[in-house]
Structure 1
């Protein structure tokens, strides 16, 4: 029984060994197939990487010829409004202020009463002067009567000639005294008139410096009491300073007295105020190198006020036919300004140019560019001088006027305008 068990166990071991020997070739085949697959994959990858890479696509840029327009170039100035006339109102006679006849800050007309000084002392002085005239007239009448009697007695030698001469001198003295008395009357009458202080011109009056009940003193210049001031608003002056270079440019372009100027205030985005160049000083300031000038501006509604600042433009070069490109197309190379242009073969090149002012977002090109040059206006970052690009044609158009800026700091400073 034990022998049979041993034989069965041996047979099972032999069967297991036989199965293991049959499985061993299969594993080797599988490993061999796996190695072959890995080598094939590696060969395919290496073969693919050694193939030449496809060339990158040619960059596409937008080109356009310069926009040609007739423009007017301007020089910009900053200045301040000043009254065309200004008066300090001071009394011509001394006395007590009895009435103020205007409202502070009101507009007054020429000849309008503004202050009244107590006239009674001057009325009394006028009456006294008039009495002096009556006395002088009486003395003159008596002197003439005595002279007439003496002339009648001269023929009969009843009166000496020297007495007649004395009577003639007396008549002349009485006539002079009457003239002096009349002059005193006119002077006293003026003093009475001066007790009512009137506006010497039309304009806007400041506040009163003296209230009723105060004594004011007459005098010459600043010695007299200041009552108030009056400024003329229409027309009004706009005063500004210009550099020597700008002055020379304006002179060479023919800007002279009568040249139109345009002005805008700090909160405005358009030049709505217009005037004419009225005055240019007779010399430049040696310290600052600037020259003072002035424009006369109409101000019918009295909106403009002395002391306001404004931006003024003055035509400096007249109307010129200019070439314009978008300001974003201008490139900078150290100190040079460049434009990228594309020829017919698609080759990019750089052209040094001379820039002018900006008008509505377009830059005026003074020199260095031809009318038929194809300027890169979009895609400048992809266009390198000497490289090839694919050019897409477009055209430059004048931008629409910008809307009112949100703040004063957003207002662009215009240096040129399109005239057509």
Structure 2
């Protein structure tokens, strides 16, 4: 019994002694030092700001239209006795050319009769004045005594008959072309009858829709009208005719004075002088109804900076990397944005390191780790680059 008791307590004692030994050894082990973890600054890409002269061109599309498109209308009745060989669909004519001739025999007779009545009335008026003077009366004679009303009536009738005679000849009011011929020789027409449709070819107009941002690029206000001292910007137009690309040069002559309520755009009217003659491209006229692609030369900005669009934070904020590799926030004046780039007019300096990658929570004054700079940034056309499709020397003078 004693042996059994001794064995149990001996085993317990050995276990307690082992545990005590382990605890004692653990207490003698040195304690680890607590250290704050070091957070590495975020790595960011950047580009070096380079200033240059930038021209912000604007692209638009539009249909070529004549400045004047009218219907020829008869003002007197009669039978058509002749038409000009150019009075056919597509025919060309000059200002003052005779297009249509209406039979004038009745109007010649009426004009001759009115002229005879006028001559007779002039003689009657002269005789009335002489008779009055021979009477030796002191009072001034009345108009009726001198037959002045009758004389004026005869003069008015003569002018009316002469005007009717002139209206038997339909002349072109401007240089142009025939859009549609409606009547022919032998046809009887009444006053108000349509004879055909013609349009002018001295000037072609192209209506180009522009946004508010486009107007800012061009430096154009609402209700702009060009003057000799303030000509409109140049417009370079292209279109394909018979499988060949042709180019024409014009200018912005004016803009609408109101914003379109449906599209929120403003229409700018480009003009090309003599589109069928001097304004044509190697004999290819800027034909009416043609749909053209237009590039409008924008306002030049000196010392502008073109950046990748990824450099923009919010509406007008960018970040630069200072000499001590900390971030600095800048508010910039943006004059143009597109899918890939932004163009900054002010707010940055030449040589600034502009951040072009996400900041991962970093902000103004935070430390960053600059990565390699980006090169070959796409941007707007510089002023040294040639304008598309033509040279500015081809721009015609103002109207």
2:398 counterpart of 1:416 = no
The separation in 2 between residues aligned to 1:313 and 1:364, in whole angstroms, is 19
2:206 maps to 238
The separation in 1 between residues aligned to 2:223 and 2:293, in whole angstroms, is 18
Paired residues for 1:182-331 under 5 Å: 182-218=155-191, 224-247=192-215, 250=218, 256-258=224-226, 259-267=232-240, 272-281=248-257, 283-299=258-274, 300-301=278-279, 303-316=285-298, 318-321=300-303
Q: Is the 8 A contact 2:58 2:217 kept in 1?
A: no
Relative to 1, partners in 2 of residues 1:134 and 1:269: Cα closer, same or farther, differing over 3 Å?
closer
The separation in 2 between residues aligned to 1:253 and 1:238, in whole angstroms, is 18
Relative to 1, partners in 2 of residues 1:181 and 1:320: Cα closer, same or farther, differing over 3 Å?
same
Give the counterpart of 2:146 among 168, 172, 188: 172
Q: Under a length normalisation based on structure 2, what TM-score does the superposition of the two structures give? A: 0.58
Give the counterpart of 2:67 among 62, 73, 84: 84
Q: Is the 8 A contact 1:65 1:396 kept in 2?
A: no
The separation in 1 between residues aligned to 2:350 and 2:126, in whole angstroms, is 101
Secondary structure of the residue that 1:92 maps to in structure 2?
coil
1:127 maps to 112
Secondary structure of the residue that 1:266 maps to in structure 2?
strand
Deviation at 1:210?
0.7
Deviations 1:85-116 (A, max 9, x none): 33322122111111111422232221111100
Relative to 1, partners in 2 of residues 1:419 and 1:270: Cα closer, same or farther, differing over 3 Å?
farther
Q: Is the 8 A contact 1:129 1:181 kept in 2?
A: yes
Aligned length: 307
Q: Is the 8 A contact 2:63 2:291 kept in 1?
A: yes
Q: Please, which runs of 5 or more residues in structure 2 have no aligned partner?
A: 1-45, 227-231, 316-331, 357-368, 385-399
Deviation at 1:119?
0.2
Relative to 1, partners in 2 of residues 1:256 and 1:130: Cα closer, same or farther, differing over 3 Å?
closer
Q: Under a length normalisation based on structure 1, what TM-score does the superposition of the two structures give? A: 0.56
Relative to 1, partners in 2 of residues 1:310 and 1:246: Cα closer, same or farther, differing over 3 Å?
same
Question: Higher helix share goes to which structure?
Answer: 1
Give the counterpart of 1:109 among 89, 94, 97: 94
- Larger-gyration structure (1/2): 1
1:346 maps to none
RMSD, aligned α-carbons = 5.2
Relative to 1, partners in 2 of residues 1:246 and 1:260: Cα closer, same or farther, differing over 3 Å?
closer
The separation in 2 between residues aligned to 1:136 and 1:120, in whole angstroms, is 24
Secondary structure of the residue that 1:417 maps to in structure 2?
coil
Secondary structure of the residue that 1:418 maps to in structure 2?
coil
Relative to 1, partners in 2 of residues 1:251 and 1:69: Cα closer, same or farther, differing over 3 Å?
closer
Relative to 1, partners in 2 of residues 1:67 and 1:363: Cα closer, same or farther, differing over 3 Å?
farther
Deviation at 1:417?
1.8
Q: Is the 8 A contact 2:47 2:354 kept in 1?
A: yes
Deviation at 1:144?
4.4
Paired residues for 1:383-398 under 5 Å: 396=376
Deviations 1:383-403 (A, max 9, x none): xxxxx9x98x997499xxxxx
